[in-house]
Amino acid sequence: MLNYIKKSLLTGVGLALRSKSEIEELAKGFAEQSKMSQAEAKQFLNECQQKYEDAKSGLDKKIEGTIEKILVKLDLPTRSDITTLNQRIDELTKKIEKAPKK
């Protein structure tokens, strides 16, 4: 039962949606209620913090991927497209400035 509760607490999406301080408080409260030893509580807190970072990173990547898909569907230029266009504009500006004037 204890492992089941621990795994439930470490669930990715739920963990990613909470703040780091909330996770630490939940882990400390859980450790106190389950009467873990200090070493077990510390290990559990470290597990929670690591799972939080992993979940947050995974969620960030999913959000970025979703935004990219939306931009593609909307046919909006990406940052690299704009950078490439700016470089081309700079090159053309230099050519115009170097061209002989009539």
Q: Give the span between the Cα atoms of 87 and 93, in whole angstroms.
A: 10
| Cβ pair 37, 45 in contact under 8 A | no
Q: pTM to 2 decimals?
A: 0.44
Q: What type of residue sits at position 95?
A: K
Query: Is residue 84's pLDDT more than 90?
Result: yes
Query: Is residue 101's pLDDT more than 70?
Result: yes
Q: Give the span between the Cα atoms of 4 and 1, in whole angstroms.
A: 5
Query: Is residue 9's pLDDT more than 60?
Result: no
* Residue 37 confidence (pLDDT): 75
Q: How do residues 15-62 score in pLDDT, each as one tens digit?
A: 555 666 776 776 777 777 777 677 777 787 788 778 778 877 887 888
